[in-house]
A and B are shown apart, each in its own frame.
Chain A
Amino acid sequence: MTTTERHTDHSAPTGHASPDDVHEHKPNSFYIKVAAALAIVTGVEVGLYYLDLGKLFLPTLLVLMVVKFVTVVSLFMHLRFDNRIFSWLFYSGLFLAVFVYLAALMTFRFFDGS
Protein backbone atom coordinates (compact mmCIF):
# COMPACT_ATOMS: atom_id res chain seq x y z
CA MET A 1 0.00 0.00 0.00
CA THR A 2 1.29 3.42 -0.88
CA THR A 3 0.00 6.68 0.52
CA THR A 4 0.62 10.00 -1.18
CA GLU A 5 0.28 13.14 0.95
CA ARG A 6 -0.15 16.48 -0.74
CA HIS A 7 -0.60 19.30 1.73
CA THR A 8 -0.87 22.76 0.38
CA ASP A 9 -0.83 26.13 2.02
CA HIS A 10 -3.96 27.26 3.83
CA SER A 11 -2.69 30.69 4.64
CA ALA A 12 -5.46 32.39 2.71
CA PRO A 13 -8.01 33.27 5.37
CA THR A 14 -10.97 32.06 3.39
CA GLY A 15 -9.05 29.21 1.88
CA HIS A 16 -10.61 29.34 -1.54
CA ALA A 17 -9.23 29.23 -5.00
CA SER A 18 -10.25 32.66 -6.19
CA PRO A 19 -7.22 34.93 -6.32
CA ASP A 20 -9.46 37.88 -5.51
CA ASP A 21 -10.30 36.31 -2.19
CA VAL A 22 -6.74 36.14 -0.94
CA HIS A 23 -5.70 38.84 1.48
CA GLU A 24 -2.61 40.82 1.00
CA HIS A 25 -1.01 40.44 4.42
CA LYS A 26 0.52 43.63 5.68
CA PRO A 27 3.10 43.84 8.44
CA ASN A 28 2.00 45.20 11.81
CA SER A 29 4.14 48.31 11.28
CA PHE A 30 1.88 49.21 8.34
CA TYR A 31 -1.22 49.17 10.55
CA ILE A 32 0.55 51.19 13.25
CA LYS A 33 1.44 53.87 10.67
CA VAL A 34 -2.15 53.96 9.43
CA ALA A 35 -3.44 54.32 13.01
CA ALA A 36 -0.95 57.13 13.64
CA ALA A 37 -2.19 58.91 10.51
CA LEU A 38 -5.80 58.48 11.66
CA ALA A 39 -4.92 59.87 15.09
CA ILE A 40 -3.30 62.92 13.45
CA VAL A 41 -6.38 63.49 11.29
CA THR A 42 -8.56 63.27 14.42
CA GLY A 43 -6.31 65.84 16.09
CA VAL A 44 -6.67 68.13 13.06
CA GLU A 45 -10.47 67.74 13.23
CA VAL A 46 -10.53 68.74 16.88
CA GLY A 47 -8.14 71.62 16.15
CA LEU A 48 -10.46 72.88 13.41
CA TYR A 49 -13.31 72.93 15.92
CA TYR A 50 -11.49 75.61 17.89
CA LEU A 51 -10.36 77.58 14.82
CA ASP A 52 -12.52 79.87 12.78
CA LEU A 53 -12.25 78.69 9.18
CA GLY A 54 -15.47 80.34 8.08
CA LYS A 55 -17.08 78.68 5.08
CA LEU A 56 -14.24 76.19 4.80
CA PHE A 57 -15.01 74.65 8.20
CA LEU A 58 -17.87 72.36 7.17
CA PRO A 59 -16.44 70.98 3.90
CA THR A 60 -13.02 70.46 5.49
CA LEU A 61 -14.50 68.49 8.39
CA LEU A 62 -16.63 66.40 6.03
CA VAL A 63 -13.64 65.61 3.81
CA LEU A 64 -11.55 64.56 6.84
CA MET A 65 -14.43 62.40 8.08
CA VAL A 66 -14.68 60.64 4.71
CA VAL A 67 -10.90 60.15 4.59
CA LYS A 68 -10.94 58.48 8.02
CA PHE A 69 -13.98 56.38 7.14
CA VAL A 70 -12.54 55.12 3.85
CA THR A 71 -9.13 54.47 5.42
CA VAL A 72 -10.57 52.23 8.15
CA VAL A 73 -12.85 50.40 5.72
CA SER A 74 -10.17 49.89 3.07
CA LEU A 75 -7.16 49.07 5.21
CA PHE A 76 -8.31 47.88 8.65
CA MET A 77 -11.33 46.01 7.27
CA HIS A 78 -9.24 44.83 4.31
CA LEU A 79 -11.88 45.74 1.72
CA ARG A 80 -9.16 47.06 -0.57
CA PHE A 81 -7.42 43.68 -0.60
CA ASP A 82 -10.49 41.47 -0.43
CA ASN A 83 -12.96 40.16 -2.98
CA ARG A 84 -14.97 42.88 -4.70
CA ILE A 85 -18.26 41.21 -3.81
CA PHE A 86 -17.70 42.30 -0.19
CA SER A 87 -17.15 45.89 -1.35
CA TRP A 88 -20.34 45.78 -3.38
CA LEU A 89 -22.33 44.45 -0.44
CA PHE A 90 -21.08 47.08 1.98
CA TYR A 91 -21.03 50.12 -0.28
CA SER A 92 -24.46 49.24 -1.68
CA GLY A 93 -25.90 49.46 1.83
CA LEU A 94 -23.93 52.61 2.57
CA PHE A 95 -24.90 54.49 -0.59
CA LEU A 96 -28.52 53.34 -0.31
CA ALA A 97 -28.58 54.70 3.25
CA VAL A 98 -26.99 58.02 2.25
CA PHE A 99 -29.34 58.42 -0.72
CA VAL A 100 -32.52 57.50 1.17
CA TYR A 101 -31.81 59.68 4.17
CA LEU A 102 -30.60 62.66 2.14
CA ALA A 103 -33.86 62.41 0.22
CA ALA A 104 -35.80 62.18 3.50
CA LEU A 105 -33.98 65.19 4.97
CA MET A 106 -34.63 67.21 1.82
CA THR A 107 -38.31 66.27 1.99
CA PHE A 108 -38.52 67.57 5.54
CA ARG A 109 -36.78 70.75 4.43
CA PHE A 110 -39.33 71.20 1.62
CA PHE A 111 -42.43 70.48 3.68
CA ASP A 112 -41.64 71.72 7.19
CA GLY A 113 -43.73 74.84 6.62
CA SER A 114 -40.85 77.31 6.24
Chain B
Amino acid sequence: MSEAIITDTPDADRSGADSGAVVPVADEDVVVDHPVDEHGAGDHAAHMVTSTGLSNNKLAMWLFLGSECLLFGGLISTYMLYRGRHTGSPGPAQLWDIPLTSVSSFVLLMSSLTMVLAVSAAQQRDDRLTTLWLSVTALLGATFVGAQVYEFTSFYHEGLGFTTSLFSSSFYTLTGFHGIHVTIGIIMLMALVGIISRSKVPGDKAEVVELIGLYWHFVDIVWIVIFTLVYLIPA
Protein backbone atom coordinates (compact mmCIF):
# COMPACT_ATOMS: atom_id res chain seq x y z
CA MET B 1 0.00 0.00 0.00
CA SER B 2 1.41 3.37 -0.92
CA GLU B 3 2.37 6.04 1.57
CA ALA B 4 1.02 9.53 1.49
CA ILE B 5 3.08 12.54 2.43
CA ILE B 6 0.86 15.43 3.34
CA THR B 7 2.70 18.67 2.91
CA ASP B 8 1.83 22.31 2.57
CA THR B 9 5.27 23.80 2.55
CA PRO B 10 6.11 26.19 -0.28
CA ASP B 11 9.57 24.64 -0.45
CA ALA B 12 8.18 21.27 -1.21
CA ASP B 13 7.71 19.88 -4.69
CA ARG B 14 5.36 22.37 -6.31
CA SER B 15 4.18 20.28 -9.19
CA GLY B 16 0.45 20.11 -9.08
CA ALA B 17 0.33 22.37 -6.08
CA ASP B 18 -3.38 22.71 -6.14
CA SER B 19 -5.42 22.11 -3.08
CA GLY B 20 -5.58 18.42 -2.49
CA ALA B 21 -3.72 17.56 -5.71
CA VAL B 22 -2.35 14.04 -5.66
CA VAL B 23 0.96 13.65 -7.43
CA PRO B 24 2.39 10.18 -7.76
CA VAL B 25 6.07 10.13 -6.84
CA ALA B 26 7.67 6.75 -7.07
CA ASP B 27 5.64 4.58 -4.74
CA GLU B 28 4.41 7.49 -2.65
CA ASP B 29 1.41 9.73 -3.08
CA VAL B 30 2.21 13.35 -2.25
CA VAL B 31 -0.92 15.14 -1.15
CA VAL B 32 -0.33 18.85 -1.34
CA ASP B 33 -2.64 20.19 1.26
CA HIS B 34 -3.34 23.70 2.38
CA PRO B 35 -4.61 24.85 5.70
CA VAL B 36 -8.33 25.19 5.98
CA ASP B 37 -9.56 27.66 8.53
CA GLU B 38 -12.24 26.84 11.00
CA HIS B 39 -14.89 27.78 8.47
CA GLY B 40 -13.43 25.67 5.74
CA ALA B 41 -12.60 28.53 3.40
CA GLY B 42 -9.05 27.34 2.76
CA ASP B 43 -6.00 29.25 1.64
CA HIS B 44 -5.15 27.53 -1.59
CA ALA B 45 -5.68 30.45 -3.95
CA ALA B 46 -2.91 32.48 -2.34
CA HIS B 47 -0.49 29.58 -2.44
CA MET B 48 -0.77 28.78 -6.12
CA VAL B 49 2.61 28.58 -7.75
CA THR B 50 3.32 31.56 -10.00
CA SER B 51 6.19 32.26 -12.36
CA THR B 52 7.27 35.23 -10.26
CA GLY B 53 6.88 33.46 -6.93
CA LEU B 54 4.55 36.27 -5.92
CA SER B 55 0.82 36.44 -5.52
CA ASN B 56 -0.75 37.34 -8.86
CA ASN B 57 -3.61 39.11 -7.09
CA LYS B 58 -1.22 41.37 -5.25
CA LEU B 59 0.84 41.99 -8.35
CA ALA B 60 -2.33 42.98 -10.22
CA MET B 61 -3.40 45.31 -7.41
CA TRP B 62 -0.06 47.14 -7.42
CA LEU B 63 -0.21 47.40 -11.21
CA PHE B 64 -3.73 48.82 -10.92
CA LEU B 65 -2.60 51.34 -8.31
CA GLY B 66 0.33 52.37 -10.53
CA SER B 67 -2.14 53.04 -13.35
CA GLU B 68 -4.41 54.97 -10.96
CA CYS B 69 -1.48 57.35 -10.40
CA LEU B 70 -1.82 58.31 -14.05
CA LEU B 71 -5.57 58.91 -13.69
CA PHE B 72 -5.23 61.15 -10.64
CA GLY B 73 -2.08 62.76 -12.05
CA GLY B 74 -4.15 63.89 -15.03
CA LEU B 75 -6.98 65.20 -12.87
CA ILE B 76 -4.64 67.03 -10.48
CA SER B 77 -2.62 68.65 -13.25
CA THR B 78 -5.83 69.73 -15.01
CA TYR B 79 -6.98 71.36 -11.78
CA MET B 80 -3.59 73.06 -11.31
CA LEU B 81 -3.89 74.40 -14.84
CA TYR B 82 -7.40 75.81 -14.44
CA ARG B 83 -7.62 76.76 -10.77
CA GLY B 84 -7.15 80.43 -11.59
CA ARG B 85 -9.88 80.48 -14.27
CA HIS B 86 -12.92 81.68 -12.30
CA THR B 87 -13.47 85.28 -13.39
CA GLY B 88 -16.76 86.60 -12.04
CA SER B 89 -17.51 83.50 -10.01
CA PRO B 90 -16.38 82.27 -6.59
CA GLY B 91 -12.78 81.08 -6.36
CA PRO B 92 -10.80 79.05 -3.81
CA ALA B 93 -10.16 82.03 -1.53
CA GLN B 94 -13.91 82.64 -1.08
CA LEU B 95 -14.91 78.99 -0.80
CA TRP B 96 -12.41 76.90 1.11
CA ASP B 97 -13.31 75.93 4.64
CA ILE B 98 -9.87 74.81 5.83
CA PRO B 99 -10.92 73.73 9.37
CA LEU B 100 -13.61 71.40 7.93
CA THR B 101 -11.29 69.99 5.28
CA SER B 102 -8.52 69.52 7.86
CA VAL B 103 -10.84 67.50 10.09
CA SER B 104 -11.99 65.33 7.18
CA SER B 105 -8.34 64.83 6.15
CA PHE B 106 -7.55 63.74 9.69
CA VAL B 107 -10.51 61.32 9.62
CA LEU B 108 -9.30 59.75 6.36
CA LEU B 109 -5.76 59.50 7.74
CA MET B 110 -7.03 57.69 10.83
CA SER B 111 -9.01 55.33 8.59
CA SER B 112 -5.67 54.23 7.17
CA LEU B 113 -4.61 53.32 10.71
CA THR B 114 -7.76 51.26 11.33
CA MET B 115 -7.28 49.60 7.94
CA VAL B 116 -3.73 48.53 8.74
CA LEU B 117 -4.98 47.22 12.10
CA ALA B 118 -7.60 45.18 10.21
CA VAL B 119 -4.87 43.71 7.98
CA SER B 120 -2.81 42.90 11.05
CA ALA B 121 -5.80 41.19 12.71
CA ALA B 122 -6.53 39.22 9.52
CA GLN B 123 -2.94 37.98 9.41
CA GLN B 124 -3.38 36.77 12.97
CA ARG B 125 -6.61 35.04 11.87
CA ASP B 126 -8.70 37.03 14.32
CA ASP B 127 -12.03 37.37 12.49
CA ARG B 128 -13.72 39.36 15.23
CA LEU B 129 -11.05 42.08 15.32
CA THR B 130 -10.77 42.06 11.53
CA THR B 131 -14.46 42.79 11.02
CA LEU B 132 -14.38 45.36 13.83
CA TRP B 133 -11.52 47.35 12.29
CA LEU B 134 -12.97 47.00 8.78
CA SER B 135 -16.28 48.39 10.03
CA VAL B 136 -14.55 51.30 11.80
CA THR B 137 -12.61 52.02 8.59
CA ALA B 138 -15.84 52.06 6.58
CA LEU B 139 -17.44 54.36 9.17
CA LEU B 140 -14.53 56.81 9.00
CA GLY B 141 -14.68 56.67 5.21
CA ALA B 142 -18.40 57.42 5.30
CA THR B 143 -17.69 60.38 7.59
CA PHE B 144 -15.20 61.70 5.03
CA VAL B 145 -17.68 61.29 2.17
CA GLY B 146 -20.39 62.97 4.27
CA ALA B 147 -18.10 65.96 4.83
CA GLN B 148 -17.41 66.09 1.10
CA VAL B 149 -21.13 66.05 0.28
CA TYR B 150 -21.66 68.87 2.81
CA GLU B 151 -18.78 70.82 1.23
CA PHE B 152 -20.13 70.36 -2.31
CA THR B 153 -23.62 71.41 -1.20
CA SER B 154 -22.36 74.58 0.47
CA PHE B 155 -20.21 75.45 -2.55
CA TYR B 156 -23.24 75.00 -4.80
CA HIS B 157 -25.31 77.31 -2.61
CA GLU B 158 -22.53 79.88 -2.87
CA GLY B 159 -22.88 79.84 -6.64
CA LEU B 160 -20.29 77.26 -7.70
CA GLY B 161 -21.97 74.85 -10.09
CA PHE B 162 -20.17 72.19 -12.11
CA THR B 163 -20.16 74.34 -15.26
CA THR B 164 -19.75 77.74 -13.59
CA SER B 165 -16.07 78.03 -14.54
CA LEU B 166 -13.07 75.98 -15.60
CA PHE B 167 -11.98 76.08 -11.97
CA SER B 168 -15.28 74.61 -10.74
CA SER B 169 -15.34 71.88 -13.39
CA SER B 170 -11.79 70.76 -12.69
CA PHE B 171 -12.30 70.97 -8.91
CA TYR B 172 -15.54 68.96 -8.86
CA THR B 173 -14.10 66.40 -11.28
CA LEU B 174 -10.96 65.87 -9.22
CA THR B 175 -12.52 65.74 -5.77
CA GLY B 176 -15.61 63.95 -7.12
CA PHE B 177 -13.48 61.18 -8.63
CA HIS B 178 -11.69 60.84 -5.32
CA GLY B 179 -15.02 60.72 -3.47
CA ILE B 180 -16.23 57.98 -5.82
CA HIS B 181 -13.08 56.00 -5.07
CA VAL B 182 -13.70 56.36 -1.33
CA THR B 183 -17.32 55.27 -1.82
CA ILE B 184 -16.22 52.20 -3.78
CA GLY B 185 -13.75 51.45 -0.98
CA ILE B 186 -16.56 51.66 1.60
CA ILE B 187 -18.68 49.26 -0.45
CA MET B 188 -15.76 46.83 -0.70
CA LEU B 189 -15.13 47.08 3.05
CA MET B 190 -18.75 46.41 3.92
CA ALA B 191 -18.93 43.55 1.43
CA LEU B 192 -15.79 42.08 2.99
CA VAL B 193 -17.29 42.36 6.48
CA GLY B 194 -20.33 40.51 5.16
CA ILE B 195 -18.42 37.68 3.50
CA ILE B 196 -16.06 37.27 6.46
CA SER B 197 -18.99 36.91 8.85
CA ARG B 198 -20.54 34.36 6.47
CA SER B 199 -17.17 32.61 6.05
CA LYS B 200 -17.34 32.92 2.29
CA VAL B 201 -13.97 34.53 1.63
CA PRO B 202 -12.45 32.95 -1.47
CA GLY B 203 -8.79 32.02 -1.03
CA ASP B 204 -6.53 33.48 1.62
CA LYS B 205 -8.57 35.72 3.88
CA ALA B 206 -5.55 37.75 5.03
CA GLU B 207 -4.57 38.46 1.44
CA VAL B 208 -8.07 39.59 0.48
CA VAL B 209 -8.09 42.02 3.42
CA GLU B 210 -4.60 43.19 2.47
CA LEU B 211 -5.61 43.84 -1.16
CA ILE B 212 -8.59 45.97 -0.14
CA GLY B 213 -6.30 47.65 2.38
CA LEU B 214 -3.88 48.60 -0.40
CA TYR B 215 -6.74 50.21 -2.33
CA TRP B 216 -7.87 52.07 0.78
CA HIS B 217 -4.38 53.38 1.57
CA PHE B 218 -4.05 54.51 -2.03
CA VAL B 219 -7.22 56.57 -1.68
CA ASP B 220 -5.66 58.09 1.43
CA ILE B 221 -2.37 59.03 -0.26
CA VAL B 222 -4.25 60.62 -3.16
CA TRP B 223 -6.07 62.79 -0.61
CA ILE B 224 -2.74 63.70 1.03
CA VAL B 225 -1.71 65.19 -2.33
CA ILE B 226 -5.10 66.82 -3.01
CA PHE B 227 -5.27 68.37 0.46
CA THR B 228 -1.90 70.05 0.01
CA LEU B 229 -2.06 71.05 -3.67
CA VAL B 230 -5.74 72.01 -3.85
CA TYR B 231 -6.60 73.34 -0.41
CA LEU B 232 -3.44 74.52 1.34
CA ILE B 233 -1.50 76.07 -1.54
CA PRO B 234 -3.28 79.26 -2.58
CA ALA B 235 -4.10 79.76 -6.26
Q: Which A residues are closer than 8 A to B by beta carbons?
A: 1-8, 10-18, 21, 23, 25-26, 28, 31-32, 34-35, 38-39, 42, 45-46, 48-49, 58, 61-62, 64-65, 68-69, 72-73, 76-77, 83, 85-86, 89-94, 96-98, 100-102, 104-105, 108
Contacts and interface: CB of A to CB of B under 8 A. Distances in A.
Given A14-B54, A32-B113, A101-B73, A65 B204 contact: no
Q: Contact residue range for chain B?
A: 35 or more
Interface stretch (B103-111, B143-151, B184-192): B103-111
Interface in B105-133: 105-106, 109-110, 112-113, 115-117, 120, 123
Nearest to B229: A65
Contacts of A13: 46, 55, 123, 204, 206-207, 210
Contact of A93 (B46, B67, B74, B225): B67
A46 B6 contact: no
Contact of B112 (A12, A14, A72): A72
A92 B10 CA distance: 30
Given A13-B207, A38-B109, A96 B70 contact: yes
Interface of B: 1, 3-12, 34-35, 43, 46-47, 50, 52-55, 58-59, 62-63, 65-70, 72-74, 76-77, 80-81, 98, 102, 105-106, 109-110, 112-113, 115-117, 120, 123, 204, 206-207, 210, 213-214, 217-218, 220-221, 224-225, 227-229, 232-233
